[in-house]
């Protein structure tokens, strides 16, 4: 699965947690977006950057 698609699957989860003022836990985002550990390690940096920027594209 491409990194692009994995980030896209993560976006609604992050948006919902931010909206509900919930704590963002990377492991939880990984589980809810159904991203395998070996793939998550590849997108982790990009995901963290997106979260820091407020997930704007």
Model confidence pLDDT, tens digit, residues 6-33: 989 998 999 898 889 999 999 999 999 9
* Contact between residue 14 and residue 51 where contact means Cβ atoms under 8 Å apart: yes
Q: Is the pTM of this model over 0.85?
A: no
1 — pLDDT class (breaks 50, 70, 90): low
Cα angle value 31/3/41 (rounded, 5°): 55
Q: Which residue has the higher pLDDT, 6 or 50?
A: 6
How many angstroms separate the CA atoms of 52 and 11, rounded? 13
Containing structural domain, residue 15: 3-53
How many angstroms separate the CA atoms of 37 and 8, rounded? 17
How many domains is the chain built from?
Answer: 1
Q: Is the pLDDT of residue 49 over 90?
A: no
């Amino acid at each position: 699965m491409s990194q692009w698609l994995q980030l896209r699957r993560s976006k609604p989860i992050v948006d919902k947690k931010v909206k509900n003022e919930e704590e963002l836990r990377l492991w939880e985002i990984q589980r809810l977006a159904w991203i395998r550990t070996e793939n998550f390690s590849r997108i982790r940096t990009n995901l963290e950057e997106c979260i820091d920027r407020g997930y704007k594209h």
